[in-house]
Amino acid sequence: MPPTSSNTLPTMNDNAESWIHGYLDGTLTDSEFAALSEWLRSDPAHAGRFARVALLHNRLAELHRGPAVLLPPHVPLSEIRADDAGAADDPLDGWDSPTANDPAAEPLAERSSYEPVMGARLAGASGAAASRAAANRTAASRTVASRPVASRIGGRRARWWAVMGGALAVFAVMFGLLAMLGDSTGRVSAATRELARVITAQSRSPWRSYRIVIESERAMATKAGRSREADRRPPKPTLNSASLHVGPGGRFVLTGVEPAGSWTAGSNGQQSWSVRGTAPIRVSDDPLHFRRDVPGHEHAMPLNDLEAMLNRLCDSYDAVVLDDADEPDNTGDAAATGDAAATGDSAATDDSAATGDSAAKGDSVATGESALATESDAANNRGATPEPQQRSSRRLLVATKRRGQRGPRQVEVSYDSGTDELFAIRFVDMPYGANRLTLRLEPLPSEPTAQTAKYFEHTAHHSDSRAIEYVLGDGP
Amino acid sequence: MDETTRQAARYWTLAQPAVSAFVAAVVHDFRDRDDVLQDIAVAVLESFPSYDPARPFTAWAIGVARNQVRLYLRRRRRDRLVFDEATIACLADAFGEIDADQVRRLDVLRECLAMLANRARGLCQLRYEQDLKPAAIADRVGMTPNSVAKALQRIRDQLRECLDRRASVSSR
């Protein structure tokens, strides 16, 4: 009912909530819209109410247009349909009835204390969700690769990704991993929880930027056939001082500088692309095709995918959390050294050591020290002076590869245990083409322009006049 | 990246959810929202030297967003149900006051969604995943448009209650 005068405002206020929802759902008539507009202008608190509902509405839209892993299981249309004629027009009838065998169907409104139940249930449900998500990603890759470029570009779902959805994706993975490790006790579980927390905190914004710092690079030890195979692959670009930008939906941009000029590789989630020097821009329908330049790609833990890294660390690594460094100058305390040394023992038995890598033996103590130093460097490089209480809660998680597994020999995550702020992730002996790298990934503030979908299109990284070459199949 | 850009980036990351919600509240077309948001990001970066740190950044960024939205709406004058300048100004003020806690409490929205009954989740999928309006949803599920609209409102109310309860539990 439209207002006819200011006297109608109390009535409008009564209806305001439904007008707000109606506006967001696109169901308002012109007169209702006029009424809503007047109501919004009549009191700043009204606009505040609108903003709160709109914030939730926007997040719901982002969540549902983001990766499948973000969402609870899909409900088939047959389950949504109102079969009972009597219930058909009553949206409240039957909506909140819990299903006996489906704890997820328990109504929100009737739950008096759902907090502990929620945690347990999510842990179980998200394990399956994580597996589904992996399958979905694979299926999505196949689907995307088989569709014409033109039909994919401009897809509505593809264009509207969750701005904050990444955080929720990581929640799902985190709970799934905790469920998988539910039988584990002691430090491995604690380490997993710590790592999941840190990664969740990182993912509060799915638009993230990192700097890659190469500490050392060496040719991979010759092992029958392996290096020759690596030599046959396209050469990897130089990574030192490279930067990595990550967005939701598998988006990434990796950029660096070589003597021949700058290079950039990236993906908008549906296509991947490469921009090198003055050569034609190369574009592939496979969103993973040019991800090969991202370290860790070959071992299912690409640097642009924290979820995948978390999965791999849980599946293939033994992790320990070193005790808090109570003071900045306590970085080499006995407890930390002991843990790291134990890690080093484990490292010395893995396949990296078997390849004749002397560095693999007993260097974890030094590794721990360097990682903690790295943390300090990272804070300085960000231009942010940590508060004293934050400095006192620095932690280091050291994950050491299990025997027979592939990937970097050791991964160190340094972070603030109070705020979960990530200082750096250090990868020791990460295979990269024909070489092994020890590198650090350090968070950088993400530029506003790198926090939009357009930044992840190749067109944002070259002039319009450049030639474009479409890559077919899996060729280099 | 110089220190100014670094600082702008830090602030923008915190303000972006509120700015995004503001744009979504005024710009209906999904593709247009992306474009407008991109323009806002560029404008924020370019205008950052004029930002007064004594003011809340989100409110300032919403001000920048308001200018970009105004430009957009000028081009789309034919659209119906577009708020006028005065209303947009009120909304800009309200979105500018959204703080980090309000944004952060949405982090558990997925968990709250998982607790909805199947039919309610299904309605959310149809509304948000497929971007169907209540009338189109009603056709598919055998309800009236009005009952779908009411159901969606109630679902959002339930989700908001869930978020509030989660926030109160975590603050204890």
Establish if A83 belongs to a structural domain.
no
User: How far apart (Å, rounded) are the C-alpha atoms in residues A41 and A37?
Assistant: 6
Is A92 in contact with B120 (CB distance < 8 Å)? no
Q: Identify whether residues A328 and A412 lie together within a single domain.
A: yes
Helix pair angle (A306-316, A187-202), 10° resolution: 170
Q: Identify whether residues B77 and B116 lie together within a single domain.
A: no
Q: Identify whether residues A287 and A318 lie together within a single domain.
A: yes
Q: Identify whether residues B128 and B72 lie together within a single domain.
A: no
Structural domains counted in chain A:
3
List b or e across B45-68, with b for residues whose CB sees 16 or more CB atoms inside 10 angstroms. beebeebeeeeebbbbbbbbbbeb
- A182 at B interface, C-beta within 8 A: no
Structural domains counted in chain B:
2
Does position B7 have pLDDT exceeding 50, yes or no? yes
C-beta atoms surrounding A226 within 10 Å:
14
ipTM of the complex: 0.89
User: How far apart (Å, rounded) are the C-alpha atoms in residues A104 and B114?
Assistant: 6
Q: Identify whether residues A356 and A417 lie together within a single domain.
A: yes
Q: What is the pLDDT along chain A (476 residues), one digit of tens a residue?
A: 444 444 444 455 668 888 999 999 989 998 999 999 999 999 999 999 999 999 999 889 888 876 554 566 677 777 666 654 434 444 334 344 333 333 333 344 333 322 222 222 222 233 333 333 333 333 333 333 333 333 332 344 444 444 444 433 433 444 344 444 433 333 345 676 677 777 766 666 678 889 998 888 887 765 555 555 555 566 788 887 789 998 877 889 999 887 777 889 999 888 899 998 888 899 998 888 888 888 888 777 888 887 777 777 777 888 777 755 433 333 333 333 333 333 333 333 333 333 333 333 333 333 333 333 333 343 344 333 333 344 447 788 888 888 777 888 888 888 887 777 788 899 988 888 888 889 999 888 777 777 788 889 998 898 888 888 888 754 44
Establish if A286 belongs to a structural domain.
yes
Q: Identify whether residues B33 and B118 lie together within a single domain.
A: no
The A residues from 31 to 50 touching B (CB cutoff 8 Å) are: 33, 37, 40-41, 44, 46-48, 50
The average pLDDT across B23-41 equals 84
- Domain hosting residue A256, numbered range: 205-461
**Secondary structure (H, E, C), A75-142:** CCHHHHCCCCHHHHCCCCCCCCCCECCEHHHCCCCCCCCCHHHHHHHHHHHHHHHHHHHHHHHHHHHH
List b or e across A122-159, with b for residues whose CB sees 16 or more CB atoms inside 10 angstroms. bbebbbebbebbbeebeebeeebbeeeeeebeeeeebb
- Domain hosting residue B38, numbered range: 3-98
Q: What is the pLDDT of residue A200?
A: 66
Q: What is the pLDDT of residue B58?
A: 92
Q: Identify whether residues A182 and A275 lie together within a single domain.
A: no
User: How far apart (Å, rounded) are the C-alpha atoms in residues A425 and A81?
Assistant: 49
pTM, to two decimals:
0.47
- A106 at B interface, C-beta within 8 A: yes
Q: Which of A123-127, B9-13, B116-120 has the highest mean pLDDT?
A: B116-120
Q: Identify whether residues A230 and A330 lie together within a single domain.
A: yes
Q: Identify whether residues B92 and B107 lie together within a single domain.
A: no
Q: Identify whether residues B93 and B142 lie together within a single domain.
A: no
Q: Identify whether residues A361 and A302 lie together within a single domain.
A: yes
User: How far apart (Å, rounded) are the C-alpha atoms in residues B81 and B88?
Assistant: 12
Q: What is the pLDDT of residue A266?
A: 93
Establish if A110 belongs to a structural domain.
no
Q: Identify whether residues A195 and A211 lie together within a single domain.
A: no
Q: Identify whether residues B112 and B64 lie together within a single domain.
A: no
Give B146's pLDDT tier (boundaries 50, 70, 90). Answer: very high
Q: What is the pLDDT of residue B60?
A: 94
Q: What is the pLDDT of residue A12?
A: 56
Q: Identify whether residues B109 and B159 lie together within a single domain.
A: yes
Q: Identify whether residues B93 and B32 lie together within a single domain.
A: yes
Q: What is the pLDDT of residue A189?
A: 56
Does position B157 have pLDDT exceeding 90, yes or no? yes
**Secondary structure (H, E, C), chain A:** CCCCCHHHHHHHHHHHHHHHHHHHHCCCCHHHHHHHHHHHHHCHHHHHHHHHHHHHHHHHHHHHCCCHHHCCCCCCHHHHCCCCHHHHCCCCCCCCCCECCEHHHCCCCCCCCCHHHHHHHHHHHHHHHHHHHHHHHHHHHHHHHHCCHHHHCCCHHHHCCCCCHHHHHHHHHHHHHHHHCCCCCCHHHHHHHHHHHHHHHHCCCCCEEEEEEEEEEEECCCCCCHHHHHHHCCCCCCCCCCEEEECCCCCEEEEEEECCEEEEEEECCCCEEEEECCCCEEEECCCCHHHHHCCCHHHCCCCCCHHHHHHHHHHHEEEEEEEEECCHHHCCCHHHHHHHHHHHHHHHCCHHHHCCCHHHCCCHHHHHHHHHHHHHHHHHHCCCCCCHHHHCCEEEEEEEECCCCCCCCEEEEEEECCCCCEEEEEEEEEEECCEEEEEEEEEECCCHHHHCHHHHCHHHHCCCCCCEEEECCCCC
Question: Is B87 in contact with A41 (Cβ distance < 8 A)?
Answer: yes
- Closest residue of chain B to A456, computed from CA coordinates: B38
Q: What is the mean pLDDT of chain B?
A: 87
Q: Identify whether residues B89 and B120 lie together within a single domain.
A: no
Establish if A213 belongs to a structural domain.
yes
Q: Identify whether residues A182 and A259 lie together within a single domain.
A: no
Last residue of a domain, one of B58, B73, B98: B98
Q: What is the CATH number of the domain that holds B61?
A: 1.10.1740
Q: Identify whether residues A454 and A340 lie together within a single domain.
A: yes
Is B25 in contact with A464 (CB distance < 8 Å)? no
Give B1's pLDDT tier (boundaries 50, 70, 90). Answer: low
Q: Identify whether residues B84 and B114 lie together within a single domain.
A: no
User: How far apart (Å, rounded) are the C-alpha atoms in residues A136 and B126?
Assistant: 19
For chains A and B, CB pairs below 8 A equal 290
Q: What is the pLDDT of residue A232?
A: 59
Q: Identify whether residues B91 and B119 lie together within a single domain.
A: no
Last residue of a domain, one of A204, A230, A262: A204
Choose among B7, B115, B159: nearest Cβ to A104: B115
> What does the DSSP 8-state code read for residue B125?
I
- A445 at B interface, C-beta within 8 A: yes
Question: Which position has the higher pLDDT, B44 or A117?
Answer: B44
As given in the structure block, the two tokens for residue A347 are: 């490292």
Distance (Å) from the alpha carbon of A5 to chain B's nearest alpha carbon: 17
Last residue of a domain, one of B64, B98, B132: B98
Question: Is A444 in contact with B163 (Cβ distance < 8 A)?
Answer: no
Q: Is the dihedral of CA B139, B143, B146, B150 positive or negative?
A: negative
Establish if A81 belongs to a structural domain.
no
Question: Is A50 in contact with B44 (Cβ distance < 8 A)?
Answer: no
Establish if A96 belongs to a structural domain.
no
Chain B environment of A74 (Cβ under 8 Å): 125
**Secondary structure (H, E, C), A153-173:** CCCHHHHCCCCCHHHHHHHHH
Q: What is the pLDDT of residue A226?
A: 54
Q: What is the pLDDT of residue A127?
A: 35
Amino acid at position B33, single letter: R
Last residue of a domain, one of B98, B119, B150: B98
Q: Identify whether residues A419 and A291 lie together within a single domain.
A: yes
Q: Identify whether residues A342 and A439 lie together within a single domain.
A: yes
Q: Identify whether residues A230 and A159 lie together within a single domain.
A: no
Q: What is the CATH number of the domain that holds B121?
A: 1.10.10.10
Q: Identify whether residues B34 and B111 lie together within a single domain.
A: no
Chain A environment of B99 (Cβ under 8 Å): none
Q: What is the pLDDT of residue B57?
A: 92
